Amino acid sequence: MNDWTEIQIEIPVSQVEQASAIAQMVVPYGIYIEDYSDLMEQAPKIAHIDLIDEDLMAKNREVAVIHIYISPEENPAEALSFLRERLDGENIPHALRTDAIKEEDWAFGWKKYYHPVRIGEHIVVCPSWESCSLQEGDVMLRLDPGLAFGTGTHETTRLCLQMLEKFVKPGMEVLDVGCGSGILSICGVLLGAKHAVGVDIDPTAVKVAQENAEMNRVQEKTTYLCGDLTDKVSGRYQVVCANIVADVVIRLIPDVGKFLEENGIVLVSGIIDTRREEVVEALASHGYQVIDSREEKGWCAMAATATATATRR
């Protein structure tokens, strides 16, 4: 069997939440985190202090290490490039290391941790090997873990899906900027949208999104483009969503009006709560008013309406 590639991301413990979210954009099924920052407080609760391994006690409690795993079919260099770009974009100090790991040690162990998840009132995200019991009015989205971000397990994706459930109406056109796995565009169609377009700078994400659309039998109602933000996008949409990091959301906002129908909705997620006000100010400065805001575990998502001024830009 071929070896998998392990990538270790060393970051300050104070930024482990942000960095782990970025790591999950690469392989949401395959990360674990070494964080010894509370070792001295937690150790006495589980063992006598004299019995704890000296190497463990010597661990640096100022840094955390995130481990992710890349399959033999994927290119580790692409993952490393993506991590550097996103970590630099969020100003997170980091060191990246790689190592090889045997496929039999990793290849299928993650499946036992990945189960159907209910999001909002009627969205059920279900892996292909699981059976799902649905209630009346439920929408089931089949999605397996993969290289592209977005399986419904992370707070940023859940928050955005909840807002899609609230704002997408039958017959709408949906645009998903930074589509990752395609979860938002696919779910938009399953919720009744006439058509959805997803765009991502990563060609792997575009490929995965197309495959996921086929798995959910919505390939005729979805289109996926490879490009930077909206540079390949045309047309107008009633809902534009972007589940990316704050800096990229802010960079996107000035161009949203070119693609948004009057009275349309902008959904943004992937925003750390400490940067919420920056995004609100960016929206307001381009003629958008926040009409809904949700938070979970330090992450926030917002829905905003566009004024006539914004849509004419």
32 within some domain: yes
- For residues 256 and 304, the answer to whether their CB atoms sit within 8 Å is no
Domain boundary residue, one of 83, 110, 137: 110
213 band by pLDDT with thresholds 50, 70 and 90: very high
Domain boundary residue, one of 87, 110, 133: 110
Same-domain pairing of 263 and 164: yes
Strand 237-243 to 260-272 pairing = parallel
Same-domain pairing of 191 and 304: yes
Domain boundary residue, one of 56, 87, 110: 110
Same-domain pairing of 67 and 197: no
Same-domain pairing of 18 and 95: yes
118 within some domain: no
Burial class (CB in 10 A: 0-12, 13-18, 19+), 79: buried
| DSSP 8-state code for residue 201 | S
Same-domain pairing of 281 and 168: yes
117 within some domain: no
Same-domain pairing of 299 and 222: yes
Same-domain pairing of 92 and 157: no
Q: Evaluate if residue 54 carries a pLDDT over 90.
A: no
Q: The domain that contains 198 carries what CATH number?
A: 3.40.50.150
115 within some domain: no
82 band by pLDDT with thresholds 50, 70 and 90: confident
Helices (H) and strands (E) counted in the chain, each on its own, are 11, 14
pTM for the structure as a whole: 0.64
**Phi, psi angle pair for 51, to nearest 5°:** -95, -5
Give the range of the structural domain holding residue 297, as residue numbers without chain letter.
149-311
What is the distance between the alpha carbons of residues 176 and 195, in angstroms, rounded to a whole number? 11
The DSSP result for 147-193, as a single string, is SSS-SS-SHHHHHHHHHHHHH--TT-EEEEES-TTSHHHHHHHHTT-
Q: What is the pLDDT of residues 172-205, one digit of tens each?
A: 999 999 888 899 999 999 999 999 999 998 887 8
Same-domain pairing of 156 and 39: no
Proportion of the chain above pLDDT 70, given as a percent? 80
Same-domain pairing of 168 and 82: no
Q: Work out how many domains the chain is built from and give that number.
A: 2
Same-domain pairing of 302 and 154: yes
Indicate the residue type of 256. Answer: V
127 within some domain: no
Same-domain pairing of 93 and 159: no
Regarding predicted confidence, which is higher, 255 or 245?
255
134 within some domain: no
Q: What is the pLDDT of residues 221-233, one digit of tens each?
A: 999 999 888 888 9
Q: The domain that contains 78 carries what CATH number?
A: 3.30.70.260
136 within some domain: no
What is the distance between the alpha carbons of residues 302 and 290, in angstroms, rounded to a whole number? 7
